[in-house]
Chains A and B, each alone.
Chain A
Amino acid sequence: MTAPVLSLRDVAKTIDTGTHRVEILKDISFDIGKGEFVAIMGASGSGKSTLLGLVAGLDTPTSGSIRIEGDEISRLGEDELAVLRGRKIGFVFQSYQLIPTLTAEENVLLPAELAGEDLAAAQQRARELLRTVGLEERLDHYPVQLSGGEQQRVALARAFIRKPPLLLADEPTGNLDSVNGKHVLELLLSLNRREGATLVLVTHDRELASHATRIITLRDGRILSDERRATA
Chain B
Amino acid sequence: MNFFRTPAWRMAWREARASAPKFLFVVFGVAAGVGALTGVRGFSAAFHDSLKREARTLMAADLLIRQFGEPTEEQEKVIAQWEQRGARLSRITETVSMLAGGENEPPVLVSVKAVDPATYPWYGRVRLEPEAPLATALNAETIAVSEDLMLRLNLEPGSRVRLGDAEFRVWGVVRLEPDRMTGSLNVGPRVMMTREGLQRTGLLVFGSRASQRLLWKLPAQGARIEELRDSMRKTFREALITDYRETHPFITRALDRATTFLSLVSMIALIVGALGVAMAIHSHIQQRLDTIAIMKCIGARSAQIIRIYTLQAALLGLAGGVAGLAVGAAVQWAFPLLLRRYFQFESLAWSASFAVEGILAGLLVALLFTVPPLLAIREVKPALIFRREMPETKPPLRLRLRRLLPSAGAGALILAGLGAMAAWLAGSVKTGAWFAGGLTAALALLGGIAWLLLRALRWLMAHAPVRLPLWLRHGVANLYRPGNHATSILVSLGVGVMFTLTVYLVQNSLLKEVMVAMPKGAPNVFLINITPRDADAVREFLASRKDIDGRAQLVPTVAARLEKVNGTPLDELPPPPGEEQRRRRNFTRQVTWMQAMPEDMRILRGAWWSDGSREALQSVDENTAKRWGIEPGAVLEWSAAGRRFEARVAAIHRFESVRRGASDEFVFTEKALAGLPVQYYATARVRPEQTAVFMRDSFRRFPSVTVINAADVVNIVQEVVDQVSLVIRFIAGFAILAGAIILASTVAGTRLRRVRESAVLKTLGARRRTLVSIFSVEFAILGGAAGFLGGALATGFARLLMTRLLDARFDPEWRANLVTTLLTMALAIAAGWLASLRVLSHRPLEVLRDE
User: Which residues does chain A contribute within 8 Å of B302, judged by CB atoms?
Assistant: 78-79, 82
Interface string of B459-496 (1 = CB under 8 A from A): 00000000000000000000000000000000000000
Q: Is the CB of A58 within 8 A of B297?
A: yes
Shortest B509–chain A CB gap in Å is: 54
Q: Is the CB of B298 within 8 A of A110?
A: yes
B85 within 8 A of A: no
From A22, A52, A98, A111, give the contact of B391 (CB < 8 A).
A22
Interface string of B12-34 (1 = CB under 8 A from A): 00110010000000000000000
Shortest B294–chain A CB gap in Å is: 5
Shortest A15–chain B CB gap in Å is: 5
Shortest A104–chain B CB gap in Å is: 14
The count of residues in chain A whose C-beta lies closer than 8 Å to any C-beta of chain B is 39
Alpha-carbon distance A111/B295, docked complex (angstroms): 8
Q: Is the CB of A15 within 8 A of B14?
A: no
Q: Is the CB of B392 within 8 A of A99?
A: no
User: Which residues does chain A contribute within 8 Å of B5, judged by CB atoms?
Assistant: 119
User: Which residues does chain B contribute within 8 Å of A113, judged by CB atoms?
Assistant: 6-7
From B304, B388, B393, give the contact of A15 (CB < 8 A).
B393
Interface string of A86-110 (1 = CB under 8 A from B): 1100010101011111100010011
User: Which residues does chain B contribute within 8 Å of A56, judged by CB atoms?
Assistant: 297
B11 within 8 A of A: yes
CB-nearest residue of chain A to B297: A91
Q: Is the CB of A82 within 8 A of B301?
A: yes
Shortest A202–chain B CB gap in Å is: 10
Alpha-carbon distance A159/B501, docked complex (angstroms): 60
Shortest B442–chain A CB gap in Å is: 37
Shortest A152–chain B CB gap in Å is: 14
From B7, B14, B290, B381, give the contact of A114 (CB < 8 A).
B7
User: Which residues does chain A contribute within 8 Å of B296, judged by CB atoms?
Assistant: 78, 82, 85
User: Which residues does chain B contribute within 8 Å of A87, judged by CB atoms?
Assistant: 299
Residues of chain A from 201 to 231 with CB closer than 8 A to chain B in the complex: none
Residues of chain B from 118 to 175 with CB closer than 8 A to chain A in the complex: none
Residues of chain A from 13 to 48 with CB closer than 8 A to chain B in the complex: 15-18, 22
Alpha-carbon distance A171/B294, docked complex (angstroms): 16
The count of residues in chain B whose C-beta lies closer than 8 Å to any C-beta of chain A is 35
Alpha-carbon distance A56/B298, docked complex (angstroms): 10
Interface string of B365-385 (1 = CB under 8 A from A): 000000000000010011101
B394 within 8 A of A: yes
Q: Is the CB of B15 within 8 A of A101?
A: yes
B300 within 8 A of A: yes
Q: Is the CB of A99 within 8 A of B385?
A: no
Q: Is the CB of B393 within 8 A of A16?
A: yes
User: Which residues does chain A contribute within 8 Å of B394, judged by CB atoms?
Assistant: 16-18
User: Which residues does chain A contribute within 8 Å of B297, judged by CB atoms?
Assistant: 56, 58, 85, 91, 97
Interface string of A50-67 (1 = CB under 8 A from B): 101100101100000000
Q: What would be 23 A-B contacts, judged by CB atoms less than 8 Å apart? A: A15-B391, A16-B394, A17-B394, A18-B394, A50-B390, A59-B390, A78-B378, A82-B299, A82-B301, A83-B299, A86-B300, A87-B299, A93-B385, A97-B290, A97-B385, A101-B14, A102-B14, A111-B298, A113-B6, A114-B295, A114-B301, A115-B299, A162-B299
Q: Lowest 9 A-B CB distances belong to which pairs?
A: A86-B299, A101-B14, A58-B383, A18-B394, A79-B301, A97-B294, A111-B298, A113-B7, A58-B382
Residues of chain B from 258 to 308 with CB closer than 8 A to chain A in the complex: 290-291, 294-304
Shortest B193–chain A CB gap in Å is: 74
Alpha-carbon distance A16/B295, docked complex (angstroms): 28
B401 within 8 A of A: no
B753 within 8 A of A: no
Q: Is the CB of B298 within 8 A of A86?
A: yes
Interface string of B740-751 (1 = CB under 8 A from A): 000000000000
User: Which residues does chain B contribute within 8 Å of A97, judged by CB atoms?
Assistant: 290, 294, 297, 385
| Chain A positions near chain B (C-beta within 8 angstroms) | 15-18, 22, 49-50, 52-53, 56, 58-59, 78-79, 82-83, 85-87, 91, 93, 95, 97-102, 106, 109-111, 113-115, 119, 158, 162, 170
Shortest B119–chain A CB gap in Å is: 73
B4 within 8 A of A: no
Interface string of B387-400 (1 = CB under 8 A from A): 11011111000000
CB-nearest residue of chain B to A119: B1
User: Which residues does chain A contribute within 8 Å of B383, judged by CB atoms?
Assistant: 53, 58-59
Known contacts A16-B393, A110-B298; 14 additional CB pairs below 8 A are: A15-B390, A15-B391, A17-B391, A53-B383, A53-B390, A58-B382, A82-B296, A82-B302, A97-B297, A98-B294, A100-B18, A113-B7, A114-B295, A114-B304
Alpha-carbon distance A100/B17, docked complex (angstroms): 12
Q: Is the CB of B386 within 8 A of A99?
A: no
User: Which residues does chain B contribute within 8 Å of A53, judged by CB atoms?
Assistant: 383, 386, 390
User: Which residues does chain B contribute within 8 Å of A83, judged by CB atoms?
Assistant: 299, 301
| Chain B positions near chain A (C-beta within 8 angstroms) | 1, 5-7, 10-11, 14-15, 18, 290-291, 294-304, 378, 381-383, 385-388, 390-394
Shortest B311–chain A CB gap in Å is: 13
Shortest A136–chain B CB gap in Å is: 21
CB-nearest residue of chain A to B19: A101
Alpha-carbon distance A15/B378, docked complex (angstroms): 22
Alpha-carbon distance A213/B811, docked complex (angstroms): 86
Q: Is the CB of B391 within 8 A of A99?
A: no
Shortest A58–chain B CB gap in Å is: 4
Shortest B769–chain A CB gap in Å is: 36
User: Which residues does chain A contribute within 8 Å of B18, judged by CB atoms?
Assistant: 100-101
Alpha-carbon distance A93/B383, docked complex (angstroms): 12
Alpha-carbon distance A158/B297, docked complex (angstroms): 12
Q: Is the CB of A58 within 8 A of B295?
A: no
User: Which residues does chain B contribute within 8 Å of A102, judged by CB atoms?
Assistant: 7, 10-11, 14
Q: Given A15-B393, A17-B392, A49-B386, verify A99-B299 contact (CB < 8 Å).
A: no
Q: Is the CB of B11 within 8 A of A99?
A: yes
User: Which residues does chain B contribute within 8 Å of A93, judged by CB atoms?
Assistant: 385
Shortest B367–chain A CB gap in Å is: 22
Alpha-carbon distance A106/B1, docked complex (angstroms): 16
Alpha-carbon distance A139/B599, docked complex (angstroms): 101
User: Which residues does chain B contribute within 8 Å of A82, judged by CB atoms?
Assistant: 296, 299-302, 382
User: Which residues does chain A contribute within 8 Å of B15, judged by CB atoms?
Assistant: 101
CB-nearest residue of chain A to B380: A78
Alpha-carbon distance A61/B394, docked complex (angstroms): 15
User: Which residues does chain B contribute within 8 Å of A99, judged by CB atoms?
Assistant: 11, 291, 294-295
Q: Is the CB of A114 within 8 A of B300?
A: yes
User: Which residues does chain A contribute within 8 Å of B303, judged by CB atoms?
Assistant: 79
User: Which residues does chain A contribute within 8 Å of B304, judged by CB atoms?
Assistant: 114
Shortest A114–chain B CB gap in Å is: 5
Q: Which of A52, A110, A170 has the most CB of B within 10 A?
A: A110
User: Which residues does chain B contribute within 8 Å of A59, judged by CB atoms?
Assistant: 381, 383, 390
Q: Is the CB of B294 within 8 A of A101?
A: no
Q: Which of A22, A99, A102, A115 has the most CB of B within 10 A?
A: A99
User: Which residues does chain A contribute within 8 Å of B1, judged by CB atoms?
Assistant: 119
User: Which residues does chain A contribute within 8 Å of B290, judged by CB atoms?
Assistant: 97
User: Which residues does chain A contribute within 8 Å of B295, judged by CB atoms?
Assistant: 99, 110, 114
User: Which residues does chain B contribute within 8 Å of A111, judged by CB atoms?
Assistant: 298-299
Shortest A155–chain B CB gap in Å is: 10
Shortest B343–chain A CB gap in Å is: 52
Q: Given A102-B10, A114-B304, verify A85-B385 contact (CB < 8 Å).
A: no
Q: Is the CB of A110 within 8 A of B7?
A: yes
Shortest A32–chain B CB gap in Å is: 20
Q: Which of A56, A98, A101, A114 has the most CB of B within 10 A?
A: A101
Shortest B558–chain A CB gap in Å is: 85
Shortest B625–chain A CB gap in Å is: 78
CB-nearest residue of chain A to B386: A49
Shortest B14–chain A CB gap in Å is: 4
User: Which residues does chain B contribute within 8 Å of A95, judged by CB atoms?
Assistant: 387
